[in-house]
C-alpha cells in the first residue's frame, strides 16, 4: 500500500518531466523579477524559458498556450539555496558522527532523494550542495538523476567530498586507525593538486575547502591549510573554470582564504571588522548560515526567548552586523541538513526577524544575488531568455518574508511540479 501510494504521488512529476511543456501564460497578482515588485505583470513561458514578462495587457500568448490564473499570488524567480548538504539529515535525529560512520551509503542516498524533492517543492529550484560528508561522490549521481528526470529535485551545484588538511576534520576516534573521514584529506603541493583535480574530474562544480576547523577531540577551531596551500587550491580550481568556497569561522582562517582568492566564506562566526573590510575589498561574499547556528544551539538545550542567548548565537549576530557595516555581499544559505530539508526559508526568516534585515533585501539575495555570486547568468531573475524556474507564493514576500512558506506553484524549466 505504501509503495503504491508513493508511486501515485510521483507519477505526475515523472510524467511532466518527460513531456515537453506547452507555452504557458502565468497571470499572478504581481511579479517580483529578482529586483523589484511589479503589480499587474504576467509572464510567458515557452520551451522551458521565459519569453516575455511585463504588463499583462501587453502580453499575447501563442495559439494553444495554457493560461494559469494566479489571483492573490506573487510570482518570483525560483529561490536559490546557497549552502546545503542533501546527504545529511538533522543532528537531533542522528549525530553527524553516526551519519558518517554508521549509516549505509544506500540509505543516505535514498534519504537524499526525498530531501531533493522537499527542497524543490519548498520553492528552491537551485541548490549549491557543499559536501557529501563521507558519502563520496554520491552528490554527482544525485545531480544526474535529477537532470535526467528520474527523481524530482532542484538544479544542483555540487562540491563532492570537500578538502581538509590531514587530521583537522572528523570523526575523531583516537583508538581507531584508518577511520573514515567526512571529507578528503590532502596536504602539500602534490597532494593538493591531485585532490582538487580528482574532485573536479569526478564532477565537482565548485571546490570546497575547510580553511579552519576543530583540531582533535574537543578542540577549538584553528586554521588548517597554510596560505600557500590555500592559494594553490584556488589556482588549481580556477585553471579549470571552477571557484572555491571556504568553510571558515576564525578570523585567521577567513583572512587566509580571502587572500587566496576564494569566492565565498561559509559561516564567518569570528570575523573581525578588519577581515570583513578585506572581504569587501576582494569581492568575497559571506554565507552566514544563521539557521544552522540557531538550530544546533536549540539542539543543545537553548529555548529561544527563555534564559540567556548562547555565545555562539551572539557571535553570529556580531559577525553579520560587522559584515553588513563593511558592505560585504551576503549569500543566502542556511547549511540545511543540519535542520530539515524543505525548511530552507528558515535562513531568510531569521535574517529578517532576528538580525534586522529587510524582506526585500533577503529576497533579492536569494534570487538575483545568489545567481550573480554563483555565476548563474541563466536564472535568478524574471526576464526574457532566462530559465523558466518560477515560484508563486501567497501574499507579498517583499513585505512579509513569511509568505515564502506559502508556496502554491513551482516550475522548473517550464515543467510544473506544484500548482494551485
Specify whether 88 is located in the same domain as 71. no
- Looking at the structure, do residues 369 and 390 belong to the same domain, yes or no? no
Q: How many domains does the chain have?
A: 2
Distance CA 110, CA 112 (A): 5
- CATH number of the CATH domain containing 265: 3.20.20.140
Residue 205 has pLDDT above 70, yes or no: yes
| Structure confidence at residue 305 (pLDDT) | 85
Residues 7 and 56 in one domain: yes
Q: What is the mean pLDDT of residues 252-279?
A: 98
Asked whether residue 312 falls in the same domain as residue 246, the answer is yes
Lowest mean pLDDT among 17-21, 91-95, 97-101, 156-160: 17-21
More confident residue, 379 or 172: 379
Q: What is the CATH number of the domain that holds 58?
A: 2.30.40.10
| 83 and 73 both lie in a single domain | no
Q: Do 248 and 108 fall within a single domain?
A: yes
Q: What is the pLDDT of residue 259?
A: 98
pLDDT tens by residue, 112-151:
999 999 999 999 999 999 999 999 999 999 999 999 999 9
Cell of 73: 499570488
Quote the percentage of the chain above a pLDDT of 90: 88
Grid coordinates in use for 402?
513569511
Q: Are residues 225 and 344 located together in one domain of the fold?
A: yes
Mean pLDDT of the chain: 94
Could you read off the pLDDT of 35-80 as tens digits, one per residue?
999 999 999 999 999 999 999 999 988 999 999 999 999 999 999 9
Q: Is residue 374 a contact partner of residue 382, using CB atoms and an 8 Å limit?
A: no
pLDDT at 21: 59
Q: Do 99 and 63 share a structural domain?
A: no
Query: Of the ranges 3-7, 16-20, 96-100, 339-343, which one carries the lowest mean pLDDT score?
Result: 3-7
**Helices vs. strands in the chain: H and E counts, helices first:** 13, 19
Are 253 and 108 in the same domain?
yes
| 30-39, 119-128, 241-250, 298-307: least confident range | 298-307
56 and 182 co-located in one domain: no
Within this chain, do residues 231 and 333 fall inside the same structural domain, yes or no?
Answer: yes
Contacts of 320 (CB under 8 A, 6+ apart): 288, 290, 330, 351, 355
What is the structure's pLDDT at 12? Answer: 53
Q: Is pLDDT of 349 > 60?
A: yes
State residue 10's pLDDT score: 52
Q: Which domain holds residue 28?
A: 2-77+380-418
If you average pLDDT over residues 345-368, what whole number do you get?
98
Assess contact for 109 and 358: CB atoms under 8 A: no
Same domain, 316 and 400: no
Mapped to the 3 state alphabet, what secondary structure does 296-365 carry? HHHHCCCECCECCCCHHHHHHHHHHHHHHHHCCCECCCCCECCCCCCCCCHHHHHHHHCCCCCHHHHHHH
Q: Is the pLDDT of residue 397 over 80?
A: yes
Amino acid at each position: 500500500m505504501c509503495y503504491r501510494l508513493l508511486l501515485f504521488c510521483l507519477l505526475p512529476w515523472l510524467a511532466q518531466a518527460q513531456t515537453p511543456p506547452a507555452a504557458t501564460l502565468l497571470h499572478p497578482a504581481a511579479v517580483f523579477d529578482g529586483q523589484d515588485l511589479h503589480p499587474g505583470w504576467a509572464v510567458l513561458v515557452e520551451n522551458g524559458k521565459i519569453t516575455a514578462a511585463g504588463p499583462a495587457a501587453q502580453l499575447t500568448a501563442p495559439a494553444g498556450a495554457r493560461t494559469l490564473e494566479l489571483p492573490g499570488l506573487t510570482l518570483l524567480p525560483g529561490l536559490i539555496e546557497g549552502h546545503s548538504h542533501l546527504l545529511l539529515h538533522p543532528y537531533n535525529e542522528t549525530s553527524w558522527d553516526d551519519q558518517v560512520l554508521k549509516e549505509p551509503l544506500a540509505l543516505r542516498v535514498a534519504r537524499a532523494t526525498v530531501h531533493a524533492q522537499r527542497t524543490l517543492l519548498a520553492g528552491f529550484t537551485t541548490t549549491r550542495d557543499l559536501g557529501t560528508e563521507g558519502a563520496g561522490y554520491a552528490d554527482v549521481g544525485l545531480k544526474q538523476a535529477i537532470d535526467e528526470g528520474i527523481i524530482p529535485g532542484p538544479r544542483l551545484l555540487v562540491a563532492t567530498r570537500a578538502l581538509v588538511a590531514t587530521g583537522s576534520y572528523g570523526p575523531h576516534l583516537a583508538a581507531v586507525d584508518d577511520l573514515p573521514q567526512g571529507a578528503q584529506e590532502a596536504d602539500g603541493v602534490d597532494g593538493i593538486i591531485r585532490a582538487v583535480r580528482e574532485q573536479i574530474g569526478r564532477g565537482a562544480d565548485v571546490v570546497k575547502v575547510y580553511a579552519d576547523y576543530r583540531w582533535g577531540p574537543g578542540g577549538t577551531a584553528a586554521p588548517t591549510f597554510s596560505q600557500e596551500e590555500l592559494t594553490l587550491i584556488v589556482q588549481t580550481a580556477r585553471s579549470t573554470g571552477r571557484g572555491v568556497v571556504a568553510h571558515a569561522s576564525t578570523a585567521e582562517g577567513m583572512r587566509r582564504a580571502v587572500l587566496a582568492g576564494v569566492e565565498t566564506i561559509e559561516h564567518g562566526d569570528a570575523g573581525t571588522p578588519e577581515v570583513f573590510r578585506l572581504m569587501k575589498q576582494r569581492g568575497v561574499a559571506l554565507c552566514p548560515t544563521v539557521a544552522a547556528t540557531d538550530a544546533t544551539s536549540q539542539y543543545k538545550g537553548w529555548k529561544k526567548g527563555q534564559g540567556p542567548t548562547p555565545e555562539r548565537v551572539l557571535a553570529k549576530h556580531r559577525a553579520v552586523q560587522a559584515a553588513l557595516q563593511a558592505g560585504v555581499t551576503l549569500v543566502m544559505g542556511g547549511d540545511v541538513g543540519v535542520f530539515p530539508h524543505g525548511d530552507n526559508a528558515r535562513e531568510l526568516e531569521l535574517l529578517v526577524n532576528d538580525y534586522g534585515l529587510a524582506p526585500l533585501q533577503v529576497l533579492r539575495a536569494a534570487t538575483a544575488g545568489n545567481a550573480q555570486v554563483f555565476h548563474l547568468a541563466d536564472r535568478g531573475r524574471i526576464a526574457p531568455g532566462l530559465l523558466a524556474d518560477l515560484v508563486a507564493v501567497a501574499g507579498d514576500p517583499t513585505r512579509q518574508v513569511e509568505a515564502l512558506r506559502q508556496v502554491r506553484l513551482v516550475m522548473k524549466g517550464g515543467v510544473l511540479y506544484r500548482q494551485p
